[in-house]
């Protein structure tokens, strides 16, 4: 079954795909995985464009989060992949305030240390600038859970970033070996 082209959808993809790719990347921690995830999310959104058209970015973001959840569940049943070697440049370019973060690679490495739920909350709240209520609705959790995940995640990120890049890489390797 083919999908008809829609100029409004195409304009949406051109205008918002970089921001959505950033979200997918921060949720997955992997550029290739993020690209695949976004492509799948956009295809699913196009198939349901009549429903998605009224708020396309929110719709695609929800699909991204749901696909990530599915991937996290599947990943729990198989061996973990090893992270890229230190020094490998895998950070996708980001527009806006995130460009001003001089240690973006350290931050992304620290995000990988977070449990998937906490990582999703941090990405949605601080990268996508969603409110507590919007984040809770998107993830299907309570406002209190969003706040507690945010608090725990920020504490973990602060500790990881305070320890420096070498320690982040060591912790990331330990996390991947433990799973």
pLDDT, tens only, 22-37: 999 998 888 998 999 9
- Average of per-residue pLDDT across 155-171: 69
Domain ranges of the chain: 1-78, 100-179
- Average of per-residue pLDDT across 131-140: 93
For the structural domain made of 1-78, what CATH number should be given? 1.10.1740
For the structural domain made of 100-179, what CATH number should be given? 1.10.10.10
What pLDDT is recorded for position 4? 63
pTM of the prediction?
0.59
- C-alpha 141/C-alpha 127 separation (Å) is 19
* For the ranges 81-90, 97-106, 118-127, 157-166, the one whose mean pLDDT is highest: 118-127
Contact 27, 63 (CB under 8 A): no
71-80, 133-142, 151-160, 167-176: least confident range: 167-176
Contact 68, 120 (CB under 8 A): yes
- From residue 116, alpha-carbon distances to 82, 93, 166, 167 in Å are 17, 22, 22, 20
- C-alpha 111/C-alpha 124 separation (Å) is 13
């Amino acid at each position: 079954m083919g999908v008809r082209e829609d100029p409004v959808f195409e304009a949406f993809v051109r205008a918002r795909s970089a921001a959505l790719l950033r979200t997918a990347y921060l949720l997955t921690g992997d550029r290739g995985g993020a690209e695949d995830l976004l492509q799948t999310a956009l295809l699913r959104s196009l198939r349901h464009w009549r429903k998605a058209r009224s708020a396309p970015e929110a719709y695609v973001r929800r699909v991204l989060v749901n696909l990530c959840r599915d991937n996290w569940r599947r990943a729990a049943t198989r061996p973990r992949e090893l992270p890229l070697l230190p020094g490998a440049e895998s950070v996708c370019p980001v527009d806006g305030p995130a460009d001003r973060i001089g240690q973006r690679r350290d931050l992304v490495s620290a995000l990988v240390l977070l449990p998937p739920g906490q990582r999703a909350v941090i990405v949605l709240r601080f990268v996508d600038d969603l409110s507590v209520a919007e984040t809770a609705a998107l993830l299907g959790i309570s406002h209190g859970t969003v706040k507690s995940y945010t608090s725990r995640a920020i504490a973990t990120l602060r500790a990881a970033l305070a320890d420096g890049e070498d320690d982040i890489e060591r912790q990331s390797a330990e996390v991947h070996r433990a799973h």
